[in-house]
């Protein structure tokens, strides 16, 4: 049903005020389960807006960096409390703007809560090191110092969790922030900013500019006063971010694609593995960089797995994420849906066997959304494009393997290295896999999704550029080590010589 009420009009947040964009144009944020519903109009901002936001952040940095970290953390702690109180409403709004089911958007808000509490705790740690000097009457230590203005560019698949992964460590270490949320999901970042403001964050410390990658993201990552950039998105765009930052040697943290795998051994609990493949493959409609988009199954249990897994996939209930019965929501937008449909054609042409799904859903309630059937290709060859390229949708490619060694080789035979998993009840196999799977995250007897906020998150190879976010590992990106020597001998002492 078309909405007759005018959509809400949102603004940028610069220097503690909600302000219009100089661009005077706006983009729509629509519900991917029902495109008749316009959630709001957000500014299509310009380079001038970015400049104002960066200037405000640079000015606020002068005082924010001097606020004691435990005091900065108290604001985060209060923000976490508000997030807890508003969790349900935030989750509902997130489902409306992004499409994933309520259980998952609650999880997304919970992940932001976890990260905010975790980083609030870090405010009373931020440990450095002290160590003996090689010289007498000399003291040596290192401390963390903030870097300045952080430019954050965030994706739509975790509309609040990922912005919080970047914002909270940036703030607690004393940086100020300019954030550009994904154009599909600016509402969740708007909520996060409101909450941080309510919690007492001083003006200018957190700024938001909405708009496209070209108009907002590009000037943000190139701005001379931006000290660091953190980006989560596709590997293609990540390379552009890296190139934009390179001439100024601006540090950038990139969190990019994945082609994650579940290995199912002949000694696995098969039903448990199937539960994992369903959740890892079709949770968030497969739109996670950690999604279990590949499954390699030991030849001895292959046909049993295929038969049981595809039967279960066919029972998954697709629909509006606000309906409690729904198990899988829509794709986030038209272009994502088209990518999925394109890869289904690619898979068929490559000779993979389509065992479940394969079609866009258009009947009845599906007509107004970007719905696609949960889709399974079986008898795939590891070299096929559907086994090599990130699809970011509800498509799982299943292939047989000879045994453990072959499985690990298949797992590592892609350009990405985010997450991997093995189902086995043999402890020797589990440890072999833990050692040899070349990914940033490895799961034993659990799917490739479900990272927790107090551990490092990130991957090898083209999944990123070596940095990690989440956990105390994130502090290493958002702060610089400063090594300090204090000589109290009252004479010249020469290291390595005296």
Residues annotated as part of the active site: 255, 289
Minimum Å gap between C-beta 457 and ligand UN1 is 7
157 interacts with ligand UN1 by CB under 6 A: yes
443 interacts with ligand UN1 by CB under 6 A: no
Minimum Å gap between C-beta 230 and ligand UN1 is 13
Cβ proximity to ligand UN1: between 160 and 404 the closer is: 160
Minimum Å gap between C-beta 360 and ligand UN1 is 23
23 interacts with ligand UN1 by CB under 6 A: no
Cβ proximity to ligand UN1: between 354 and 446 the closer is: 446
Q: Which residues pair with 15 in a beta bridge?
A: none
Segment interacting with ligand UN1, rule: CB under 6 A, options 121-129, 357-365, 399-407, 447-455 = 447-455
Alpha carbon distances (Å) from 418 to 91, 161, 187, 290, 449: 26, 18, 28, 7, 10
456 interacts with ligand UN1 by CB under 6 A: no
Cβ proximity to ligand UN1: between 149 and 411 the closer is: 411
450 interacts with ligand UN1 by CB under 6 A: yes
Site string for ligand UN1, 281-300 (x = CB under 6 A): -------xxx----------
Segment interacting with ligand UN1, rule: CB under 6 A, options 95-103, 244-252, 394-402, 445-453 = 445-453
Which of residues 344, 451, 474, 475 is near ligand UN1 by CB under 6 A? 451
Cβ proximity to ligand UN1: between 449 and 475 the closer is: 449
Cβ proximity to ligand UN1: between 290 and 333 the closer is: 290
Minimum Å gap between C-beta 208 and ligand UN1 is 20
Residues in contact with ligand UN1, total (CB under 6 A)?
9
Q: Is the separation of the CB atoms in 289 and 463 below 8 Å?
A: yes
306 interacts with ligand UN1 by CB under 6 A: no
The residues, any chain, with a CB within 8 Å of residue 402's CB and separated by 6 or more, are 298, 299
Minimum Å gap between C-beta 450 and ligand UN1 is 5
449 interacts with ligand UN1 by CB under 6 A: yes
Cβ proximity to ligand UN1: between 104 and 122 the closer is: 104
Per-residue three-class SS string for the chain: CCCCCCCCECCEEECCEEECCCCCCEEEEEECCEEEEEEEEEECCCHHHHHHHHHHHHHHHHHHCCCCHHHHHHHHHHHHHHHHHHHHHHHHHHHHHHCCCHHHHHHHHHHHHHHHHHHHHHCCCCCCEEEECCCCCEEEEEEEEECCEEEEECCCCCCCHHHHHHHHHHHHCCCEEEEECCCCCHHHHHHHHHHHHHCCCCCCCEEECCCCHHHHHHHHHHCCCEEEEEEECCHHHHHHHHHHHHHHCCCEEEECCCCCEEEECCCCCHHHHHHHHHHHHHHHHHCCCCCCCEEEEECCCHHHHHHHHHHHHHCCCECCCCCCCCCECCCCCHHHHHHHHHHHHHHHHHCCEEEECCCECCCHHHHHCCCECCEEEECCCCCCHHHCCCCCCCEEEEEEECCHHHHHHHHHCCCEECEEEEECCCHHHHHHHHHHCCCCEEEECCCCCCCCCCCCECCEECCECCCCECCCHHHHHHEEEEEEEEECCCCCCCCCCC
Minimum Å gap between C-beta 490 and ligand UN1 is 54
154 interacts with ligand UN1 by CB under 6 A: no
Closest CA to 65 of 487, 498, 482: 482
Cβ proximity to ligand UN1: between 32 and 107 the closer is: 107
Chain centre distance of CA 322: 22
Minimum Å gap between C-beta 157 and ligand UN1 is 6
166 interacts with ligand UN1 by CB under 6 A: no
118 interacts with ligand UN1 by CB under 6 A: no
260 interacts with ligand UN1 by CB under 6 A: no
Q: Is 134 exposed, middle or buried (0-12, 13-18, 19+ CB in 10 A)?
A: exposed
Minimum Å gap between C-beta 246 and ligand UN1 is 24
259 interacts with ligand UN1 by CB under 6 A: no
The residues, any chain, with a CB within 8 Å of residue 391's CB and separated by 6 or more, are 286, 293, 339, 340, 343
Cβ proximity to ligand UN1: between 126 and 289 the closer is: 289
Minimum Å gap between C-beta 374 and ligand UN1 is 17
Segment interacting with ligand UN1, rule: CB under 6 A, options 203-211, 348-356, 382-390, 443-451 = 443-451
Site string for ligand UN1, 201-240 (x = CB under 6 A): ----------------------------------------
147 interacts with ligand UN1 by CB under 6 A: no
64 interacts with ligand UN1 by CB under 6 A: no
Cβ proximity to ligand UN1: between 11 and 288 the closer is: 288
Which residues here bind ligand UN1, judged by CB under 6 A? Answer: 111, 157-158, 288-290, 449-451
């Amino acid at each position: 049903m078309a909405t007759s009420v005018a959509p809400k009009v949102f603004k940028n947040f610069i220097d503690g005020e909600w302000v219009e964009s100089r661009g005077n144009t706006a983009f729509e944020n629509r519900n991917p389960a029902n495109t008749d519903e316009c959630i709001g109009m957000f500014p299509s901002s310009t380079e001038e807006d970015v400049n104002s936001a960066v200037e405000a952040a640079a000015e606020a940095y002068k005082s924010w960096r001097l606020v004691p970290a435990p005091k900065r953390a108290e604001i985060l702690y209060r923000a976490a409390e508000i997030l807890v109180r508003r969790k349900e409403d935030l989750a509902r709004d997130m489902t409306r703007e992004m499409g994933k089911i309520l259980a998952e958007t609650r999880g997304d808000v919970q992940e932001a809560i976890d990260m905010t509490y975790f980083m609030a705790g870090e405010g009373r740690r931020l440990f450095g090191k002290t160590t003996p000097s090689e010289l007498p009457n000399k003291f040596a230590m290192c401390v963390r110092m903030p870097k300045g203005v952080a430019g954050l560019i965030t994706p739509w698949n975790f509309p609040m969790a990922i912005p919080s992964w970047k914002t909270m460590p940036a703030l607690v270490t004393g940086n100020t922030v300019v954030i550009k949320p994904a154009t599909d999901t600016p509402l969740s970042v708007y909520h996060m900013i409101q909450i941080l403001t309510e919690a007492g964050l001083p003006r200018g410390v957190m700024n938001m500019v909405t708009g496209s990658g070209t108009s907002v993201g590009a000037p943000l990552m190139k701005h001379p006063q931006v000290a660091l950039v953190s980006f989560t998105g596709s590997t293609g765009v990540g390379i552009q971010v890296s190139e934009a930052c390179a001439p100024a040697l601006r540090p950038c943290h990139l969190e990019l694609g994945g082609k994650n795998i579940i290995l199912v051994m002949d000694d696995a609990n098969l039903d448990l593995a199937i539960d994992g493949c369903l959740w890892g493959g079709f949770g968030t409609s497969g739109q996670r960089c950690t999604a279990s988009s590949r499954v390699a199954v030991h030849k001895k249990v292959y046909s049993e797995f295929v038969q049981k897994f595809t039967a279960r996939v066919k029972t998954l209930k697709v629909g509006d994420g606000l309906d409690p019965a729904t198990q899988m929501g829509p794709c986030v937008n038209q272009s994502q849906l088209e990518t999925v449909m394109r890869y289904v054609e690619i898979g068929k042409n490559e000779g993979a066997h389509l065992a479940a799904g394969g079609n866009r859903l258009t009947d009845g309630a599906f007509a107004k959304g970007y719905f696609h059937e949960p889709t399974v290709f079986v008898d795939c060859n590891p070299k096929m494009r559907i086994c090599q390229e990130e699809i970011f949708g509800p498509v799982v490619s299943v292939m047989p393997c000879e045994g453990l060694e072959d499985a690990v080789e298949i797992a590592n035979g892609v350009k990405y290295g985010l997450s991997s998993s093995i189902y086995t009840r043999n402890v020797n196999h589990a440890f072999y896999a833990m050692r040899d799977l070349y990914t940033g995250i490895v799961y034993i007897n659990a799917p490739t999704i479900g990272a927790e906020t107090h551990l490092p998150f990130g991957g090898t190879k083209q999944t990123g550029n070596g940095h990690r976010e989440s956990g105390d590992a994130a502090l290493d990106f958002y702060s610089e080590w400063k090594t300090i020597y204090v000589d109290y001998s009252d004479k010249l002492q020469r290291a390595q010589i005296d």
